[in-house]
Structure 1
Amino acid sequence: MYERSEPLLTINAAPATPGRGIFVFGAPRGGTSMVAGALSLLGVDMGRRQGHGNNEDLDIQEARGPVGELADAEGKALAAALERMRPVIAQRAENSEAWGWKDPHGAFYAPQVEADLPAPRLMAVFRDPQAAAQRVHMLTERPLFDALEDTLKLYERCRAYLAQTTQPAAMVSYEKALVRPALFVAQLAAFCGLSPGREQIEAATAFCYPERGHGSPTDPGWPNRGAF
């Protein structure tokens, strides 16, 4: 029998209760904005202050600081970033409702913060690496093959982390989510323990449309200037 792969593949099952500490990571230009925007439309608090067009929690991102040296798990830069981030995460953890944040570079520090999350849901988003790297190259003028190397290294960090964590975790295929958005939204809500209403489901499904672009879910999108 022919079986299609899923937009969201659960690695470690999650309880039915709402996620409090929904952490979305992957690689720059790799689809994390789409997942974070869909979560926001499903009712998840993804941060009080949002980055324009990227659905990132500015409080956590500013506490994290530059990503340049965070790849060294034993380095001083990561230790300092964690010291700054942990009070912000602890404050957000006081929220009794579903909450989370998105950071494309989050695999650099996910192992260190998972214990700080009251009811974690850990999601790594994967996109065609060439497409993600090409977008980075187009937007930043970083040499294409350097951008591709960066993307592949981040995806390897995601793979290694998902292979060892025992917390509720899942992999998301950006392309599969675009092809089957209704199924993806249903899987996303189930994995995160959400109970969205019909209008929320419809809005999140419409957000996962390739020609829309996946910045702020409150923006109307950009016809013909979308995700691809």
Structure 2
Amino acid sequence: MTYQKNKRVICSEKKMSIKTCEVIIPAQVVDQKTYIVLGVARSGTSMIAGCLRELGIFMGEIVADNHEDPVFFSDDVEILKRIILERNNKYDNWGWKVPKTMFHIENLLPFIRNPHFIIVTRDPFDIANSMMKREAMPFDLAIQHIFMVYKHLQQFVEKCLAPLMFVSYNRVIADKEAFICELTSFIGSENLSKEQLNQLRNFIGGNYRSTSLDKMQLASLAKAKTDQMNLNLINQIQQKSIRVLSRCRDEISTIEKLQEEIATKQLTINYKSLYRWEEGLQRIPELKNLIELLYQKILDKLSYKDITTTEEFRKQCETLLTDIILVRYTGNRLLYELNKKQ
């Protein structure tokens, strides 16, 4: 079955009852493309990245519980430039999804081959609730962060000259078939099989879903309960722990920069976020020590004796990252309040 036939079936069955996507700048008819998924964290960017994976587009190494490409966590443009050029040489069509990419995307544009942007939107109330559940972020801080990100997205869209499509997460959930039709039209997929269509349908959902490739990895992890010394899986989990700890260090650096910037402002007790910020800063030495302690466990090989030990260590690293991110959010909130009153 060809893609065109599948496309007619999808569109005719649903009669395009609602529109899930809006193409601002049409896609290019070229053989090589780079897809960059942008949006607020918890807005559905993982869903889009996962759909692109299902369509055979390389979106970074598979991580069982996240569709972000960890190599793009860095803020160093030179490092990102090298990664982009390496991927260009290795893949005709590839992409990545890391929400904070938006803050330095303009510096990366000269190195991206035929960029195609997909921006995901979602009801801010829903995003904030998701942040509360997944990241323990207070609702008011989440809302503030969401609109700060949307402001940056607005500025990017005003300047963007590359192919650009907006996706409504809420509408996608309401009409999967319309979305599949519109997404495949934008990326120009051909020869879409019934299996691929079913994989897309099964992946799209209200909560995190594993892609068909993820499920293979998860199945291996489940099987590992009877094979605690599966070295391949131990290595995969361990590498994720290392990436998480690396991001912990990056977040600490961001907090220290925030601290320097806030120190230049005039502070009074009237700022609601001041107490939470100062309380968070008091924890920084402890959090930094924890990072180094966990790194030392990796060096001493105390974190990967077997599958269970390695997985528990990974969860410990994830918890530490959540704690550090919460401190950064309080700093972002305080800085926003300070700048607003100046």
Settle same-fold status: TM greater than 0.5.
yes
> What is the CA–CA distance in structure 2 between the aligned matches of 1:175 and 1:89, rounded to whole Å?
31
Of 12, 33, 43 in structure 1, the residue corresponding to residue 46 of structure 2 is 33
Instruction: Give structure 1 stretches of 5+ with no counterpart.
Output: 65-77, 222-228
* Alignment-derived partner of residue 197 in structure 1: 193
1:209 aligns with 2:205: yes
Are 1:126 and 1:155, in contact at CA under 8 Å, matched by a contact in 2?
Answer: no
- Secondary structure of the corresponding residue to residue 109 of structure 1: helix
Listed as ranges, the matches of 1:29-68 within 5 Å are 29-47=42-60, 49-61=61-73, 64=74
Q: Which has the higher contact order (CA 8 A, sep 6+)?
A: 1
Shift of 1:215: 4.7
Pair 1:106-2:101 in alignment: yes
Partner of residue 93 from structure 1, selected from 88, 93, 111: 88
TM-score, normalised via structure 1 length: 0.80
Q: How many residues align?
A: 200
Please give the alpha-carbon distance, in whole angstroms, between the structure 2 residues aligned to 1:120 and 1:198. Answer: 28
Query: Which residue pairs with 1:155 in the alignment?
Result: 150
Write the distance in 2 (CA, Å) between the matches of 1:180 and 1:43. Answer: 22
Structure of greater Rg: 2
Task: Indicate conservation of the 8 Å contact 1:129/1:148, yes or no.
Answer: yes
Residues 25 and 193 of structure 1, relative CA distance in 2, 3 Å threshold: same
Specify which of 132, 156, 169 is matched with residue 137 of structure 1.
132
The answer for unaligned runs of 5 or more in structure 2 is 1-15, 219-342
Residues 19 and 192 of structure 1 are in contact (CA less than 8 Å); yes or no, is this contact kept in structure 2?
no
**The structure with more helix, counted as a fraction of residues:** 2
Contact 1:18 1:192 (8 Å CA) reproduced: no
CA distance in 1, matches of 2:32, 2:151: 25
Question: How much does 1:133 deviate?
Answer: 1.3
CA deviation profile, 1:146-182 (whole Å, cap 9, x unmatched): 1111111112211221222110011111011111112
How many angstroms apart in 2 are the aligned matches of 1:45 and 1:19? 12
Aligned-pair identity (%) = 24
